[in-house]
Amino acid sequence: MKNLDSKITLFKKLSNELLQTFGNLTPEQFEQKSKCHQWAIKDIGSHLIATNGFAINSIQRSVQGDYLPAEGQPNPGSVNSQSMAAGIASRAIQISETDLPNNSELINVLFEMEKSLLNVFLSIDENQWELPAYHPIAKFSPQLFLDISLIELILHSWDINSALDSNYEINSGESKIINQIWLNPEISNWLYTPDETQESELVCDINLSEPLRIITWRDQIVISEIPSNSNLVPNATIEVRENDFPLLISARDNIEIAIEQNRAEISGEKDIIYRFHQWFKGT
């Protein structure tokens, strides 16, 4: 429960910072292109309104014992980030352009949705965090909704702030938390796009403060911590800054460019960087 409390505290902090950022935007900055593909900064606000509403509804249904997809919704695990991308992108733009075209109204609705989702997290009893909850990407739970909400806030805050300030970076503490969230198989499978040309298992170690191991084979991916007694020799090892890895795995940064700029190094089979781009095409 202590870990959950710290995550809720972080959610509240990140949410408040995001709302403050939106509150300080000029009308021109609202329309400015963000670092999230296809979206202006205002579209990120619209997207978070939509995802928060979905999370609130799904968690509340979960607590009531209802975790099945509503009529017309896909079964859990039948989609991933790539298959959902176009629909998510167009829905956010639609909200910005037609439902909430007024910037002040968008900020007010975003404020209410962020506050409502926080209150839902605060209302969950200790024995309810692992209850089954509906999400199209996997069999979910309220705890996974908290994790994915942290991913959304950390990455989309970067999408906005780095568009406004090229020196903006995800801080080290937030990077460590999000890098541990990738260990959830439900989350890693959501990120992963299988490489149909891959003929054998590949192992790629990521040297961070808490090193990670990525193993892929056909339609399967496992992201785990590296066991201290492991004798497995990886195909490649990537050295990367802690706060760059969330951007690489979400395709906001390019590993080849990171290597050219001395922000990353690779040893072993160098062509695994091209596999990396195939596996992780973006969220």
Start-to-end C-alpha separation, the chain: 28
DSSP 201-266: -EEEEEESSS-EEEEEETTEEEEEEPPTT--PPPSEEEEE-TTTHHHHHTTSS-HHHHHHTTSEEE
Domain co-membership, 140 together with 199: no
| pLDDT of 26 strictly over 60 | yes
The answer on pLDDT for 2 being more than 60 is no
Task: Compute the distance between CA of residue 143 and CA of residue 59 in angstroms, rounded to an integer.
Answer: 10
Residue 70: pLDDT band (50, 70, 90) is confident
User: Which pLDDT band holds residue 111 (cuts at 50, 70, 90)?
Assistant: very high
Provide the CATH number for the domain around residue 211: 3.30.1050.10
Region at 178 (left for phi over 0; alpha for psi -120 to 50; beta for the rest): alpha
Mean pLDDT for 200-205 is: 95
pTM here is 0.93
Instruction: Check residue 138 and report its DSSP letter.
Output: S
The residue length of the chain stands at 283
Q: What whole-number percentage of the chain has pLDDT above 90?
A: 80
Instruction: Answer yes or no: is 181 within a domain.
Output: no
* Arithmetic mean of pLDDT, 35-60: 96
Within this chain, do residues 13 and 116 fall inside the same structural domain, yes or no?
yes
Residues 7 and 133 in one domain: yes
- Whichever domain contains 69, its CATH number is 1.20.120.450
Classify burial at 19, counting beta carbons within 10 Å of its beta carbon; exposed 0-12, middle 13-18, buried 19 or more: middle
**Contacts for 130 with CB less than 8 Å, ≥ 6 apart:** 141, 142, 143
Q: How many domains does the chain have?
A: 2
Q: What is the pLDDT of residue 8?
A: 97
Same-domain pairing of 143 and 208: no
Task: Look up the domain containing 110 and give its range.
Answer: 2-168
